[in-house]
Every structure is written in structure tokens, then in C-alpha cells.
């Protein structure tokens, strides 16, 4: 399967409004592509990269270490003394082994306008700790918020200015930004059952930005991926990156700000990312300098860890589908039918896609029946109920009670005592 076909398979399997990707071989870009339902989104568009931002924060921390401004075993309190996690070491924060909670106190930071560092520190007094230091790997976005503040204090500037001057400028990454540029993919969420698109917020995460904020393109991120392989004289040397790429016990697959991913005979480093409306994947084989980047404007649907095997090594895409297109309008008779229904104790998901009502067995994800609107009625066109009529049964007040098709009754709860459940099974 070629790159274009593999990308199309990822788009169809994930129901992605768009997905852009690029591949480098031996450090040289060899391909880029985009599959999009919007004409204005291309492989040159900017996407939010989520936690790939953490790799930039980590490099800034190691740069400070290389300059002798801190040590990895220093406590974060040596730079940010007022934090409730003052005893957590820099190494533990970078490797997510400090035992602190995953998210900061308060509303979901990825969907909320972020406050300043003083507010973040005051709200997180250490009482949210979930484990002892080094007890187990526990991913912590909060930890990278604190690392970003340490960078700002030691550099005497804000975290993003440090990213721009000490990383992006030396590497020529002019397409990576803090806020969304004009040419950006819009963040979206795909309704699971209606297949419609919902806009997602593009928040400024404030003090949590070092954990996930930046926007970039696949071309710029290929530059970043190759830097993670070979280093740069004006940023950090290859030896520092090799140190970052080594797994830190008890984490088996995470180093110092870098994920460690084993794919076949390869050991790749990089990171995945997600923000409301976006997912991202960036990995590089440091030995061969083969690299892959994939960016999508969907809250879910991409499986970032599978991207390297598919685009670098030609592995098949799990559950590929044809090109996915969103629903623009759900017909009035269909709307009350969407969602989860039960036949007895067996759950089915009812979806609307490509002008067809799909009944999907949630145990197997297989589609058991398809219905189409024919002369104003939903008639089975494939499956056990082919030719049969699917009807909505309503209560006396007009609300939906259950669905019925050829005596098979589907209810919103298992074995609704108010509805007689038939003895047959749709697949029998």
C-alpha cells in the first residue's frame, strides 16, 4: 500500500475530517499528503499538536542542564519553591514518575482559558498526589506546567519566547506558532451516531501551555523529528537527545520528555498529542533517521501509536473504510433513532452515515443491518431485516418508547419491563 492509500485508509477508519501526514527517509522528506473533507485544508495547513509540545519543553530543560543552570536530580522547589510538589525532581517530572496527579485542579485545562503560573501553583498544593515518587509511571500534564515555569524563571523570559528563540529559530521552524495562524485546520468533534461535525474550542492554555499548546505543520514537525535524531549545535547535541531517549524506570516506554515506541525491529522516539479537535503523532528512528508525522483535526479517531507502522513500514491499517464524509443533515424520521439501543441485553449502536441507517453490534462493531429512507419510511436494504420496515413507537405523550422491526423490539435500557421482548434474534 502506498503512502496516499495508507493515508486514505486512516481517514476512513478514523472518520477524520482531515488528516495530513509526511514521511522522511534518512532525514530527507520524501512524501507529504492530506485527505480532507474541506477544500481549504491541505498538507500545508497548521494543526494543534497537543503534547508534542512537551518534547519542546523537555529539550529546553535539558538545554538548561547542559549549561549548568540546573541538574536533573534537583527538586523543582529549587526553582519554584512555592509549589506544593517542591520535592519532585526535574527527572521525575520529565519522565512522569513523580507521583503527582495527572491534571491540575479546576476545570478541564484543555478546554478552558488558562490562568497564570501563580494561580496554577496556588491551586495545586500537593494534596492531589496519587503515588510515591518512583512508585509507577503516571502521566502528568501538571508536571510540565511546572517545568515550563522553571524554564521561564531561569531564562528570565516567558516559556514561549524561550521556545521561539532557543528552538524554533535555530531549527528554521517558521511554521510553528503559539496561536492558530490564518491557514489552520478547524478543530472538530465527530458525532459518533449522527456523523455530524461540531466545532471545538481553540483555547489559550496559559500556564499549562508547556504541556500542550503549539500549532504546527507536518513539514515543520519533520524538521523537529530529525532534530530529535541528530541534534543541532545551537540547541543540544546528539548525546543529550540519546539521554532523553532512554526509558526511565519504572516507565518502560518513556524517557525524559520523549515516548519510546517499539515497532517491529525499530525503536522510535517522539510523542503523541491531543487537544479538543485535534490529534497528532510524531516519531523518528534515531538510527536510520526515518520519521513520520500525522496531524488530524478530530478529537478522536486517529490511533497515533499505529501511524509509524502504517506509514513507515507498510503495515495494514486496522479496520480501513472507504473515504469518510460527514453528515450535513439528519432526516427528521431518523433523528430519534440514533444512539444506543438494546435487544434484550445486547447493545446496538444506531448511526446515520452516507444516507443510510446502520445498526451496529457493539460487541463486535459489525454492522448487522442497514436501512434507507424510501418513500418516507425506513426500509431494510441489507442484513436480516432486508425489506422490513423499521418503526418508532411512541408513548401517549409523543416521546419515543422503543423501535420495532418485524416484531424485534429495541429499547433504551436492557429488558425494559414495560416492553415484551421477542424470542428470536436478528442473526438467527
Can you list the domains of the chain with their CATH numbers? 3-178+186-313 (3.40.710.10), 335-410 (no CATH)
Contact between residue 23 and residue 29 where contact means Cβ atoms under 8 Å apart: yes
Q: What percentage of the chain reaches a pLDDT higher than 70? A: 97
Q: Please indicate whether residue 419 or residue 43 has the higher confidence score (pLDDT).
A: 43
Contact between residue 356 and residue 386 where contact means Cβ atoms under 8 Å apart: no
Q: What is the pTM of this model?
A: 0.93
Q: What pLDDT band is residue 417 in, cutting at 50, 70 and 90?
A: low
Q: What are the cell numbers at 211? A: 504541556
Q: What is the mean pLDDT of the chain?
A: 94
Q: Provide mean pLDDT across the span 145-160.
A: 98
Q: Give the pLDDT confidence score for residue 320 in this predicted structure.
A: 87
Q: What pLDDT band is residue 422 in, cutting at 50, 70 and 90?
A: low
Q: What pLDDT band is residue 106 in, cutting at 50, 70 and 90?
A: confident
Q: What pLDDT band is residue 419 in, cutting at 50, 70 and 90?
A: low
Q: CB within 8 A of 308, min separation 6: which ones?
A: 261, 263, 266, 268, 281, 283, 292
Q: Give the pLDDT confidence score for residue 296 in this predicted structure.
A: 98
Handedness of CA 23, 248, 67, 213 (dihedral sign): positive
For residue 108, pLDDT over 90 is answered with: no
Amino acid at each position: 500500500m502506498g503512502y496516499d492509500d495508507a493515508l486514505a485508509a486512516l481517514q476512513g477508519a478514523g472518520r477524520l475530517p482531515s488528516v495530513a501526514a509526511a514521511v522522511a527517509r534518512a532525514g530527507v522528506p520524501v512524501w507529504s499528503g492530506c485527505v480532507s473533507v474541506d477544500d481549504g485544508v491541505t498538507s500545508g495547513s497548521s494543526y494543534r499538536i497537543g503534547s508534542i509540545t512537551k518534547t519542546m519543553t523537555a529539550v529546553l530543560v535539558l538545554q538548561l542542564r547542559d549549561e549548568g543552570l540546573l541538574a536533573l536530580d534537583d527538586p523543582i522547589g529549587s526553582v519554584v519553591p512555592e509549589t506544593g510538589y517542591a520535592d519532585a525532581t526535574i527527572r521525575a517530572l520529565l519522565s512522569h514518575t513523580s507521583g503527582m496527579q495527572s491534571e491540575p485542579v479546576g476545570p478541564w485545562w484543555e478546554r478552558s482559558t488558562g490562568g497564570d503560573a501563580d494561580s496554577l501553583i496556588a491551586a495545586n498544593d500537593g494534596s492531589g498526589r496519587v503515588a510515591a515518587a518512583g512508585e509507577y509511571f503516571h502521566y502528568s500534564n501538571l508536571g510540565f506546567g511546572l517545568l515550563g515555569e522553571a524554564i521561564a524563571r531561569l531564562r528570565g523570559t516567558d516559556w514561549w519566547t524561550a521556545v521561539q528563540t532557543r528552538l524554533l529559530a535555530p531549527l528554521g521552524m517558521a511554521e510553528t506558532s503559539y496561536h492558530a495562524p490564518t491557514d489552520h485546520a478547524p478543530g472538530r468533534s465527530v458525532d459518533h451516531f449522527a456523523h455530524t461535525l461540531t466545532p471545538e474550542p481553540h483555547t489559550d492554555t496559559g500556564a499549562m501551555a508547556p504541556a500542550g499548546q503549539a500549532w504546527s505543520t507536518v513539514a515543520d514537525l519533520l524538521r523537529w523529528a530529525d532534530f530529535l535524531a541528530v541534534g543541532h549545535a545551537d540547541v543540544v547535541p546528539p548525546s543529550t537527545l540519546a539521554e532523553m531517549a532512554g526509558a526511565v524506570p519504572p516507565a518502560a516506554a518513556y524517557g525524559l520528555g520523549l515516548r519510546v515506541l517499539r515497532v517491529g525491529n525499530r525503536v522510535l522516539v517522539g510523542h503523541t498529542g491531543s487537544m479538543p479537535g485535534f490529534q497528532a503523532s510524531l516519531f523518528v528512528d534515531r538510527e536510520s533517521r526515518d520519521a513520520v508525522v500525522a496531524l488530524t483535526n478530530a478529537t478522536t479517531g486517529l490511533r497515533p501509536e499505529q501511524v509509524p507502522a502504517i506509514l513507515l513500514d507498510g503495515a495494514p491499517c486496522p479496520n480501513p473504510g472507504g473515504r469518510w464524509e460527514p453528515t450535513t443533515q439528519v432526516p427528521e424520521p431518523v433523528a430519534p433513532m440514533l444512539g444506543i439501543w438494546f435487544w434484550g441485553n445486547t447493545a446496538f449502536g444506531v448511526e446515520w452515515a452516507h444516507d443510510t441507517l446502520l445498526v451496529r453490534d457493539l460487541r463486535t462493531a459489525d454492522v448487522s443491518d442497514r436501512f434507507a429512507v424510501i418513500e418516507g419510511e425506513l426500509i431494510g436494504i441489507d442484513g436480516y431485516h432486508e425489506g422490513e420496515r423499521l418503526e418508532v413507537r411512541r408513548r401517549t405523550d409523543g416521546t419515543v418508547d422503543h423501535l420495532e422491526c418485524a416484531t424485534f423490539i429495541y429499547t433504551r435500557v436492557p429488558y425494559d419491563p414495560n416492553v415484551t421482548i421477542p424470542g428470536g434474534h436478528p442473526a438467527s
